[in-house]
Structure 1
Amino acid sequence: MNYTEFINAVKEEVKEHLEPDIIVELHTAMKNNGTIRKGLMIGRRGVNVSPAIYLEEFYEQYLKGKSISLLAETIQQIYEQVKVQNSYSCDNIFSYEKVKEKIVYKLIQREANENLLGEVPYEEFLDLALVFYVLLEATPFGNATLLVKNEHLGEWGVSKEEIMKAAEKNTPKLLPLRFEKLANFMYVMTNQPQNLGACTVCYPEACKKARETIGENFYVIPSSIHEMILIPESYGLNRLQLEIMAGEINSEDVEEEEVLSGNVYYYSGKEGRLIL
């Protein structure tokens, strides 16, 4: 059974075990870094926000021998955890006054997202880009979000600078910094939900406070769009070793859509900023 056949079979199996007012549809999405993912969109009639459950990992389990009925049962359980109970008013989304307190930012790679960046407002940051989204709902299992596009700025009657100002205020408040020691010589910087937390290096004073904790300048390895790894300068890794480490993280531990950058950054206390 190929992947397309598998998705259709899982769809029918899942539908049989859900209530009649639950809609199950095939879903294809263009994700970060141009990655295309396919899965199921599952939602209740009358609720206009539905979670997408992607099935690539389930297909791998199927190829290893797991039955479609068992996988469908697992998908049903996931849906019960992540389902959205309430609709979001379209009127609220079209009103800037009603969304401005929920606008936040995230970091993505510039080069791999050229097509996307042609459709959205963004701010350059080193070799990366800060893009903006409306945080509709945050849960332990994921977030309900709306990516801010150029067309939204027209509908809202605001500029990119206004969006950036709102995101600079909201992001550290809604998604607070989480900074902790990961190993004897490594630290990790992310947000409290540990979701899209690499952007915490852009929080005011975050890197400065990290330097105070570490006690010296440090290198930053983007381990994914979710977090940054900080390594003290005195640990003695040279540029090649750091780049090899970054490459190994991206190739072995991170899904393609979650890769942020293969570059390594350096925080200079004297300059008070990250440099490439």
Structure 2
Amino acid sequence: MNLNYEEFKEKIKDDIKDYMDEKYKNCGVFIRKVNKTNCEVDGLNFYNIPGLKNATPTIYVNNLYEEYERTGNYEEVVRGAAETMEREIESFNKEIKAELLDTSRLKDNVFFTLINAEQNKELLKTVPHREFEDLAIVYRWNLGNDSLGTYTNLVDNDLAKKECLTENDLYNAANKNTKELFPILVKNMNEVISEIIFGDSELSGEMEEE
């Protein structure tokens, strides 16, 4: 079996639930275009997930296909994708508090990030944003944190409309929240370079000077 990308995409969408726990058999599966920073990819998502509201993990089909091309083993790839999806769903259920998935709290948890405006023209058509020199300010919704990092969702036009938030509303809220969620930390370059090379380990005076 030698699948091209389009064939692979449709097949894994149809097959992935067959490799997952029975409790996910009634979930829907869909693939959507995802405008990530500087590129567009295919994201595989579930809906009607037991216990999850307003959230769905995403697996990027492009990455799965690269793995398939590398190994030639479709079953191994789809099995790995199923395990990843189950693990991500369980992580959402364990780590993300239900109240944080309540979209009415979006304004309390929104922050902004900067992206390249020219390279993300298509993405910017779908999200509230404002220009900043050759960049664009876009808004993300902080869902919570665990040991692996921070869970966030990009705020698109549909979500902003649902919560009756203008771009100016989002900017004002994010201007306050970003500083609280991600406090500014100033370090000199010696400290930064030392941490990159040596991590958090204690350095001797001679090594520190060097």
Q: Structure with the greater relative contact order (CA < 8 A, sep ≥ 6): 1 or 2?
A: 2
Percent of aligned pairs sharing the same letter: 24
Q: Which string of whole-angstrom CA distances, capped at 9 and with x for unpartnered residues, describes residues 64-121 of structure 1?
A: 23412211222122223321327967x942x3xx322201111111123334434443
Give the secondary-structure state (helix, strand or coil) at the position aligned to 1:50.
coil
Partner Cα distance (1:151, 1:19) in 2 = 31
Aligned residues: 179
Give the secondary-structure state (helix, strand or coil) at the position aligned to 1:130.
strand
Q: Is contact 1:7–1:39 with CA below 8 Å preserved after alignment?
A: no
Is residue 32 of structure 1 aligned with residue 36 of structure 2? yes
Residue type of the alignment partner of 1:105: F
In the alignment, which of 57, 64, 68 is matched to residue 62 of structure 1? Answer: 68
Q: Is contact 2:42–2:61 with CA below 8 Å preserved after alignment?
A: yes
> Unaligned 5+ residue runs, structure 2?
191-210
In the alignment, which of 175, 180, 183 is matched to residue 173 of structure 1? Answer: 180
| Structural mapping, 1:121-200, within 5 Å | 121-139=128-146, 140=148, 143-149=151-157, 152=160, 155-156=163-164, 159-176=166-183
Alignment RMSD (CA, Å): 3.3
TM-score (norm 1): 0.53
Q: Is contact 1:41–1:52 with CA below 8 Å preserved after alignment?
A: yes
Partner Cα distance (2:145, 2:127) in 1 = 22
Q: Which string of whole-angstrom CA distances, capped at 9 and with x for unpartnered residues, describes residues 199-223 of structure 1?
A: xxxxxxx6xx35xx138xxxxxxxx
Partner Cα distance (1:8, 1:109) in 2 = 32
Q: Whose helix fraction is larger, Structure 1's or Structure 2's? A: 2
| Structural mapping, 1:99-118, within 5 Å | 99-118=106-125
TM-score (norm 2): 0.67
User: 1:54, CA displacement in angstroms?
Assistant: 1.0
Give the secondary-structure state (helix, strand or coil) at the position aligned to 2:22.
coil
Partner Cα distance (2:97, 2:163) in 1 = 21
Give the secondary-structure state (helix, strand or coil) at the position aligned to 1:82.
helix
Partner of 1:14: 16
Partner Cα distance (2:182, 2:79) in 1 = 32
Q: Whose strand fraction is larger, Structure 1's or Structure 2's? A: 1
Partner Cα distance (2:44, 2:162) in 1 = 32
